Structure 1
Amino acid sequence: MIRTSALAIALALSSVPVIAQDTPAGDAPSKEAKDSAKPNPDQVKASVEEDAQPVRRSIPFHGRSLSYTVTPGHLTIRNDKGEPTASMFYTAYTMPSARGQRRPVTFLFNGGPGSSTMWLHMGSVGPIKVDASNPETVPGPPFRYGPNPDTLLDVSDLVFIDAPTTGLSREVAKAEPKDFFGVDKDLDAFTRTIQRYLTKYQRWNDPKFIIGESYGTTRAAGLSNSLLDAGVQLNGIAFVSTVFNFADFQGDQSLVNFLPTYAADAWYHDKIPGKPPLEQFLSQAREFASGPYALALQKGNMASDSERQAIAQQMAQLTGLSADYILRSNLRVQPDRFRRELLRDRHQIIGRIDSRYVGTESDNVGEGTDYDPQGSAITGAFVGALNDYLFRDLGYKTPLTYRPNNYGAVYGGENSWDFTHKAPGDRQQIADTSVDLASAMRQNPRMKILSVNGYYDLATPFGGADYEFQHLALEPQLQSNIRYAYYPAGHMMYTDPASARQLKADLAAFYDSAM
Structure 2
Amino acid sequence: MRYLLLAAAASLALPLPLSAQDQPPEAEAAAPVDPQVRTRNLTGTFAGQRVPYRATVRETVLESDEGEPEAVIVTTSYVRTPRDTSRPVFFIYNGGPGSGSVWLQMGAWGPKRVAIPSDARDDGAPPYPLLDNPDSLLDVADLVFIDPPGTGFSHLTHGTDPEKYYGLRQDARAVAEVIRRWINDNGRWNSPKYLGGESYGTTRTAMVVDELEGGTFNDVGLNGLILVSTILDFAAREPTPGNEMAYLVTLPNMAAAAYYHGKVQAPSVEAIAEEARQFAIGPFATALLKGQDLPDAERAAVRAELSRLTGLSETYLDQANLRVTSQRFYKELLRDRGLTIGRLDARYTGTDFDNAGETPDNDPSFYGIDAGYTAAINEWLREGLGFETEREYQSIGSEPGRNWDWSLGGGRNAYLNVAPFIGKAMRENSQLRLFNAQGWYDFATPFFGAEYSLNRYGIPQDRLTFRYYDAGHMMYVRDEDRAKLSADIRAFIRDR
So what's the TM-score if we normalise by structure 2? Answer: 0.89
- Structure 1 regions of 5+ residues with no counterpart? 1-44
Matches of 1:217 and 1:381, distance apart in 2: 24
Aligned equivalents of 2:378, 2:193: Cα separation in 1: 29
Match of 1:87 among 72, 77, 87: 72
Identity of aligned residues (%): 39
Is the alpha carbon distance of 1:411 and 1:207 closer, same or farther for their aligned partners in structure 2, counting shifts above 3 Å? closer
**1:121 and 2:113 aligned:** no
Work out which of the residue numbers 396, 400, 416 in structure 2 matches 1:410: 400
Residue of structure 1 in register with 2:195 after alignment: 210
Matched, 1:78 2:63: yes
> How far did 1:134 drift?
2.6
Task: Give the superposition deviation at 1:172.
Answer: 2.7
CA distance in 2, matches of 1:211, 1:432: 17
Report the alpha carbon displacement of residue 173 of structure 1 after superposing the two structures with TM: 6.1
Deviations 1:400-456 (A, max 9, x none): 32222221x2344xxx21110158xx9845532112111111111210001110000
What is the aligned partner in structure 2 of residue 464 from structure 1? 449
Q: 1:318 to 1:435 in 2, by over 3 A?
A: same
SS for the counterpart of 2:368 is: helix
Q: Which residue of 2 aligns with 1:266?
A: 258
Deviation at 1:189, TM superposition (A): 0.8
* Matched position secondary structure for 1:159: strand
The answer on whether the counterparts of 2:72 and 2:154 sit within 8 Å (CA) in structure 1 is yes
Task: State the distance in 1 between where 2:96 and 2:127 align.
Answer: 27
Q: In the alignment, which residue of structure 1 is the partner of 2:311? A: 320
Could you tell me which residue of structure 1 aligns to residue 224 of structure 2? Answer: 236
Q: Which residue pairs with 2:92 in the alignment?
A: 108
**1:296 paired residue number:** 287
8 Å CA contact 1:351–1:374 kept in 2: the answer is yes
Query: What residue is the counterpart of 1:197 in the other structure?
Result: 182
Shift of 1:56: 1.1
What is the RMSD computed on CA atoms of the aligned residues? Answer: 1.9
**3-state DSSP of counterpart to 2:443:** coil
Describe the shift of the 1:269–1:406 C-alpha distance in structure 2 as closer, same or farther (beyond 3 A). same
Once the two structures are TM-superposed, the CA of residue 389 in structure 1 deviates from its matched residue by 1.3
Q: 1:305 to 1:46 in 2, by over 3 A?
A: farther
**3-state SS of 1:480 partner:** helix
Structure 1 residue 222, shift from structure 2 partner: 1.1
Q: What is the Cα deviation at residue 240 of structure 1?
A: 0.7
1:276 aligned partner:
267
The answer to whether residue 140 in structure 2 is matched with residue 155 in structure 1 is yes
Match of residue 506, structure 1, among 484, 488, 491? 488
For residue 431 of structure 2, what is the amino acid of its counterpart? Answer: R
Structure 1 residue corresponding to 2:368, chosen from 373, 377, 382: 377
Aligned to 1:343: 334
Q: Distance in 2 between matches of 1:445 and 1:65?
A: 34
Question: Which whole-Å CA distance do the structure 2 matches of 1:209 and 1:97 have between them?
Answer: 21
Counterpart selection for 2:277 from 258, 266, 286: 286
Distance, in Å, in 2 between the alignment partners of 1:502 and 1:183 is 31
Helix, strand or coil: the match of 1:489?
A: coil
Q: Structure 1 pair 320/122, CA: closer, same or farther in 2 (3 Å)?
A: same
Written as runs of structure 1 = structure 2, the 5 A alignment for 1:389-400 is 389-400=380-391
TM superposition shift of 1:125:
1.1
- Answer yes or no: is the 8 Å Cα contact 1:349–1:359 preserved in 2: yes
Matches within 5 A, 1:213-228: 213-228=198-213
Return the alpha-carbon distance in structure 2 between the equivalents of residues 47 and 364 of structure 1. Answer: 55
Q: Distance in 2 between matches of 1:357 and 1:502?
A: 21
| Greater Cα shift, 487-496 or 386-395 | 386-395
Inter-partner Cα distance in structure 2 for 1:135 and 1:365: 24
Long gaps (5+) in structure 2: 1-29
CA distance in 2, matches of 1:411, 1:443: 32
Match of 1:58?
Answer: 43
* Residues 437/428 of structure 1: CA separation in 2 closer, same or farther (3 Å cut): farther
What do the CA deviations read for 1:300-320 (whole angstroms, capped 9, x no partner)?
A: 111111111111110111111
In structure 2, what is the equivalent of residue 35 of structure 1? none
Instruction: Provide Cα deviations, 1:197-255, integer angstroms capped at 9, x if missing partner.
Output: 11111111111101211111111011111111251111000111111121112311111
Deviates more, 1:479-488 or 1:392-401: 392-401
AA of the residue aligned to 1:117: S
Could you tell me which residue of structure 2 aligns to residue 187 of structure 1?
A: 172
1:77·1:196 contact (CA, 8 Å) conserved in 2? no
Change in CA separation of 1:310 and 1:97 when aligned onto 2, cut-off 3 Å = farther
Q: Secondary structure at the match of 2:369?
A: helix
What is the match of residue 144 of structure 1?
Answer: 129
Corresponding residue number in structure 2 for 1:13 = none
Aligned partner of residue 119 in structure 2, secondary structure: coil
